[in-house]
Amino acid sequence: MKHAQDTIESAYDRKSISRNFIYYVLLSVVIFLGLTAALIYPQVQNVFDKVQNQSDENYAKTYASMLHRYIEDREFGLLDIAESSYVLNAVLLAQGDRADFRDFVSHAKLLREDPILTVLDLNAEIIFTESETTQDYSWARKIIDGATEQEFHLIPNSEKAQFELAIPIKFGRGREGVMVARFPVSLENIFNLTEFEANSSGVILSKNDVVLSTDIQAIEQPFSKIQYVDKYGVNITHVTSRTSVNITQRGFLVKFLMLAGFAALLSFTFLAYYGRRLIVQPYADLAQSQEAISKAVEGIARVSRSGRYVGVNSAYALTAGYEPSELIGEKWDVTVYPEELPILKAAYQDMIKEGKVTLETRGQSKTGKMFYKQVTMVPLFDEAGTFDGHHCFMKDISPRKEVELQREKLVDKLSESNEELERFAYVCSHDLQEPLRMVRSFSELLERHLHDSLENDTKGKKYLSFITDGAKRAQDLIRDILSYSSIDADDRHIEAVDMNSILSVVTKTYLKDNSSESAHITWDALPTIMGKKTQIYQLMLNLVSNGLKYQKPGQNGNVHVSARDLNNAWEIAVTDNGIGIDESYFDKIFEVFQRLHRRNEYAGTGVGLSICRKIVERHGGKIWVESKLDAGSTFYFTIEK
C-alpha cells in the first residue's frame, strides 16, 4: 500500500515540477537576453560613440599606441606563426567604462613579393631581411639597448624617400630583437610629427607624439597600410582608415547577435534535454502510474471534497463487489459497514488534522456482506494549498482477520480450560486430602492394634506398609499439584524479600523435617529481591532439598547459595555436591511428573522442579542447570530487579 501511495504522490509532484519548469525556463531566457541587451550593448555602443566622436588626431594617437603595445606586449613570434598566414585587424573591446584595442585573426593572404620587413635579434643578426641585404643595420643594437616599453624609434632614410619604424620586440622561443618596418612614402604624406630632428642615428619619439594620417582616400592606396611581411609571405596588416572602426562596430553588433543567439540556442538545448526529463517523461510516468494504479492489487480511490468517488481502480471496486464505473459519483460511505460509520468520520477528521490516518475497520459490499479492510486516507491539496479531497487506499484483510478472530477464540477457550483445570485440581487436591488422611491414619492405627498379631506375619506387615506409604505418596503428590496449580492463582502483591532470611527459614524447615546431621547449608551475603515471599520460600526450599536429597550413599550433603548482580536482575546460584545430572536431561527435569530415578532410590513426586520453573517465570526470570555426572549440580535462576 505504501508503494502505491508513493507512486501517486511522485507522479503528481513530477507533473507540478514540469509545469513550473516551463515558466522558469522561458522567464530565464527572457531575463538573460534582456540583461545582455541592457548591460552589454549600451556599454559597447557608448564606447563606439566616443571613438566616432574623437578627432582624427586623437584617433590616430590611439591607434599608434595600440600598434606599439601590440608588438611589445603580445610577444609576437614570427617563428611560431611562420607556417600560417594571417591578417590582423584592430578590434575595439569594451571593458567597463574604458575601451582598449586588441587584435584577432580574421583571414589570411599570401604574398609572393619581396619582403619589406627586417627582423634582427639582440646580436644584430639578421633573422629576416629584405632583398638589399648589404644595408647597414649597426643602429639596431643601439635601438635595442636604449629601448623602453614607452618608446619606439623612427629612422629617416632620405636616400630612398622612406621611413623605417624600428620597434623592439620579442619573437619565437623567447628571443628578443627589433622589427624594422619601412614606409616607402614621403614623410608629409604619412606622418605629422610635432617634434622631429633627422639625423643619421635616428630620432626617439614618445608614442603619444606620433600621429598617423587618417586621410580617407588613403584606404585605396597601397601605402595607406603599415605592412609587416615575413619571408614566408605572411601579410600582417593594420588598417589606419576610420573604416576599420565602422567595421569593428558592426563586428560587435554581430557578436552581440551571436551571443544572443547562442544564449537562445543554449536555453532551447537545455529545454529540449531537460524538458524531456521534466515535462515529457513526467507525463509518461504519470500515464504509467495511472496504468499501474488501475492494475494494482491494492484498492486505490480518489474522493472529492464533497465526499464522492472521482476515481477508482479495479482492486478497490472488486473488494466491495462493484465495477469501477459503478462507484464513480457515489458517496464514499457506500462501502462502509453502517456500525463503523462514526469511526470512519472521526478518522476523516484526524486525516485532515494530521495529514494521514490508517485504521482497520469493517466494510460492506454491494450485496450487503460484511468484510474486514485496512484503510489509509491521505489528504489532497490543490496548487493554492486548499483541501481538495483525499486518496483512499484499501486492502482486504478478511482472511487475516478471520484467523485472528479464531485465534482469539482459541486463546479464550484455552484460558477458560486452564482456569477450569486449576479449579478442578484445587478441588480434587483439597477433597482428596481428607480421605487420604483417613486411609493413612487408620492404616497406622491398624498396624499398632495388630502389632502383636502381625509380629510373625511378614506379609501382613508388608501390606499395611504399602497402604501407609501409598497414602503418604498420594498426599505428597496432591500437595505438590495443589502448590503448582495455586501459583497462578496467587494474588499476593510483590514485596521486598530478604534472601538471607529466606535461607534461614529454609534451613530450619529442612533440618526439622529431615533429622540428618550430615546436611550442611551455607550462603554468601544475599540481596533483597522483589517477589512474592511465599513463592520465593517454596522455590528455595525445593532447590535446597533436591541438592541434599540426591547424594551418593554415605556422602555428606553440602549446598551453597550465592548471588551475582546483572545490573537489571539478580542471578541466584544453588550449588550442591550431589550425584549430578546428565546433559541430555537438562530440559526434561523441569517438566511435570518427570523423574530420572526410581522411587525406591530417591523419593519424590516429579513436580518440584516444575514448580520452581513456574515460580521463576512468573517473576519474569529464567531457570537452568549446569551439571556433570558425579560432580554435583548448580541451579541458576534470575529475578528481575
Report the residue count for the chain. Answer: 641
**What are the grid coordinates assigned to 323, written together?**
465495477
Kindly indicate whether the domain formed by 492-640 is annotated with CATH number 3.30.565.10: yes
pLDDT of residue 528: 93
Q: Cα-atom radius of gyration of the chain, to the nearest Å? A: 57
Please, what is the average pLDDT of the chain?
65
DSSP state of 174: G
Q: Cell 535462576 identifies what position?
A: 637
pLDDT band for position 540 (50/70/90)?
A: very high
Pick from 190-199, 405-414, 499-508, 514-523: least confident: 190-199
Kindly indicate whether the domain formed by 297-396 is annotated with CATH number 3.30.450.20: yes
User: Which residue blocks in 130-191 are alpha helix, DSSP H?
Assistant: 139-146, 187-190
- Hey, what amino acid is at 598? R
pLDDT of residue 621: 93
pLDDT of residue 360: 92
> Over 80: is that where the pLDDT of 211 sits?
no
Domain spans of the chain, in order of start: 2-52+252-292, 68-244, 297-396, 397-489, 492-640
Contact 210, 163 (CB under 8 A): no
pLDDT of residue 509: 84
pLDDT of residue 418: 74
**What are the grid coordinates assigned to 615, written together?**
515460580
% of the chain residues with pLDDT over 70 = 48
Short-list 3, 167, 194, 190, CA closest to 75: 167
> Over 80: is that where the pLDDT of 19 sits?
no
pLDDT band for position 313 (50/70/90)?
A: confident
Bigger pLDDT: 4 vs 629: 629
pLDDT of residue 519: 81
pLDDT of residue 439: 76
Backbone angles phi, psi at 182, to 5 degrees: -100, 145
Cβ neighbours of 55 (radius 10 Å): 9
Pick from 71-75, 383-387, 411-415: least confident: 71-75
Torsion sign, CA atoms 452, 457, 459, 462? positive
> Over 50: is that where the pLDDT of 96 sits?
no
pTM to 2 decimal places: 0.38
**What are the grid coordinates assigned to 612, written together?**
520452581
